[in-house]
Amino acid sequence: MSGAEAGSGKGASGTGFGHSPKRLVAELGILLLAIVGLIFAARGCAGYASTAIVAVIPPDADAAIGKTAGEAMRAQHGLSGAPTEDQKARVDRIFEELRSSLTDEERRVLVAPRITVLKDDQVNAFALPGGEVFVLTGLLDRSKDDDEELRGVLAHEIGHAVKRHGVRSLARNALFGLTIAFVVGDLNDITATVIAGASQLDTLRYSRSMEEEADAFGVDLLARSNKSPEGLARFLESLEAMPVPELLSTHPDSEERAKAIRERMRAGK
């Protein structure tokens, strides 16, 4: 082998088969950016598709999903004791006040309206598909005897059920996961971590949209009931003054939401 040939071989080995650390970092960065872009594109497509899918699913499906989840929730909290009769009576009264102001169309969506109080120190309330609303005793303790606050929270939760947010979330998350799995296929540990983080962000962003929609519904329902939405705004502000991790994880931007509620009140919407 000549000296020229040897030099040529060395050059090929140095440039053709080796990669500098900077180049590896750049290539990895491009790969991760492509994956993130794909994730956000899939998220948007899943959102549009889930809305269309849920539109053709009858409300009876919501009730079936909610029944299963409700039974599991009651069994889970059954060992914690029971709320007092006064607590149950208070929640029942306010729930019935709000339910009486629902329109016929809203009643058709809430095929299984029900209010359940669970003994739990968490400050929370949530609605299941079909219309069952759960109130934890921690929320009752937090609101004390302020019925206006409790009424605002319940109106908001009824909004989640009427707008079918639970079923929409299930459909969207399922479509999102299937899309990523189909397009990306097998992933290494790094890209899997990126997707997991983006999936959490996706849930948060979609949750914000649903929370705003439930707030708007709550304001309207309270107005139809001749009640003020001020209690809901006040409760949201209290979350900023005394944060509640369980709520803030799915009810973000509480102060901004309280401001938006008061703006709707002033605008008469």
The pLDDT tens digits of the residues spanning 133-169 come to 999 999 999 999 999 999 999 999 999 999 998 888 7
Q: What is the mean pLDDT of residues 41-48?
A: 52
Q: What is the mean pLDDT of residues 26-40?
A: 57
* Residue 54: both structure tokens together: 């849920």
- Distance from C-alpha of 118 to C-alpha of 76, rounded to nearest angstrom: 10
Phi, psi of 132 (to 5 degrees): -80, 130
Catalytic residue among 132, 149, 157, 211: 157
Least confident of 5-14, 81-90, 216-225: 5-14
Residue partners of 215: CB distance under 8 A and separation at least 6 = 156, 159, 232, 257, 260, 261
Share of the chain above pLDDT 70, in %: 63
Q: Give the angle subtended at the CA of 136 by the CAs of 134 and 142, to the nearest 5°.
A: 135
- Distance from C-alpha of 143 to C-alpha of 121, rounded to nearest angstrom: 13
Mean pLDDT of the chain: 77
Q: Is 157 a catalytic residue?
A: yes
CB count, 10 Å around CB of 153?
A: 24
What residue ranges do the domains of the chain occupy?
19-267
- Distance from C-alpha of 17 to C-alpha of 269, rounded to nearest angstrom: 67
pLDDT range class, residue 40, cuts 50, 70, 90: low
At residue 17, the pLDDT reads 44
* Residue 176: both structure tokens together: 């999102």
Q: What is the mean pLDDT of residues 240-263?
A: 70
Burial zone of 56 (CB within 10 Å; 0-12 exposed, 13-18 middle, 19+ buried):
exposed
